[in-house]
Structure 1
Amino acid sequence: MGKTPRKLDRTDLKILSLLQTEGRITNLKLAEKVGLSPSPCLERVKRLEAAGYINRYSAEIDLDLLCRNVLVFAEVTLKNQRGEDYERFETVIAKIPEIIEAYSIGGGYDYLLKFVCGDVRDYQILSEKMINSDVGIDKFFSHIVIKPVKAYRGMPLAHLIDKDTNPSVILS
């Protein structure tokens, strides 16, 4: 059964914005930053979790400190455009740990995949296995990331939700 979203106020949005960038913030600090006392703040966080607005908490790992790695985006087009072809492809890629994100895309290709591999050679071996497998790939274009320019730092909640926000002001 689907969850019915409840109307969120500005305090809820502040809580969500802070938690997505500071997941380890204490309830006391969170309450201070959003202008609540600790108990009502904790109640709001629990309600947001129960309502499904907060899916999980995680840590952002600096992979460059741990090991050598390469980040690659791949555009994939399938040979056939039937539902079972999409399902088969999605089932296979869900099992490949090096694919860290995957999106079904409308437009010039079917999927955008984000890979992280040890190096370009590892990526080449993996991509060749995928292309040569019976997963239905027609076209496979790779884009190796030279350097990240802007990393993900959370959803821009104020700009997405506040209808008075004008994105063109940012670009002026």
Structure 2
Amino acid sequence: MVKKKSVKLDAINRKILATIHLQSDITNARLAEIVNLSPAACSQRTKALRDAGYYFNCHSEVDLDRICEHVIAYVEFTLRDNSPACRQRFEAAIEEIPEFMDCLRLAGDTDYISFTCCSNVKELNRLCDELSGDESLGISRVVTRVVVDRPKFYLGYPIEKLKWY
């Protein structure tokens, strides 16, 4: 990984990051108003923060229930062998499957958990079977937890509640 240039996270840069984290479609003019800078200065700071890697992706949340059939699930994976080589093989395989949208390595009796979205349960099962059936990945156990309701959506990290560096 290439080390990126650091940018000082002063109060204005922290406010820029906290704002664009929750409002990725905000205009530069509106962001400049919020952080009390000129549009040019705000644009320079935002570009510097992005170039330094402090934020790297912007997307919009869509209402899947209104646009397509789908099933959302958390899938837990336990590996037979927790060696670096086995973990690397598993992580490379999961990286190639877009339906596995987020994958976290855990401490405890489960090695990984992935947030998953598939067209239906049959497709979810097929993908899990494909992964667990690949002996080179060393998966000993797969637990699928289908989401039946989503009363709260992830709307960003609580940046303002965290301790900044």
- Give your verdict on TM over 0.5: yes
Find the partner of 1:147 among 138, 146, 149.
149
Partner of 1:13: 14
Instruction: Tell me if structure 2 keeps the 8 A contact 1:76–1:141.
Output: yes
**CA offsets per residue over residues 30-54 of structure 1, 9 Å max, x none?**
1111122212111211121122112
TM-score normalised by the chain length of structure 1: 0.86
Deviation at 1:162, TM superposition (A): 5.5
Superposed, which structure 2 residues align to 1:150-161 within 5 Å? 150-161=152-163
**How many equivalent residue pairs?**
163
- Superposed structure 1 runs of 4+ greater than 4 Å apart: none
Which amino acid is the alignment partner of residue 149 of structure 1? Answer: P
Q: Secondary structure at the match of 1:87?
A: helix
Give the conservation status (yes or no) of the 8 Å contact 1:68–1:119: yes
CA distance in 1, matches of 2:27, 2:5: 28
Structure 1 residue 64, shift from structure 2 partner: 2.2
Gaps of 5+ in 2: none
Matching of residues 27-66 of structure 1 within 5 Å: 27-66=28-67
**1:81-131: per-residue Cα shift (whole Å, max 9, x none)?**
222111111111111121111111111211111111111222122222222
What is aligned with 1:166? Answer: none
Where do residues 12-161 of structure 1 align in structure 2 (5 Å cutoff)? 12-134=13-135, 135-161=137-163
The TM-score, its normalising length taken from structure 2, stands at 0.89
Overall identity of the aligned pairs, in %: 33
Q: Which moved more, 1:27-36 or 1:55-64?
A: 55-64
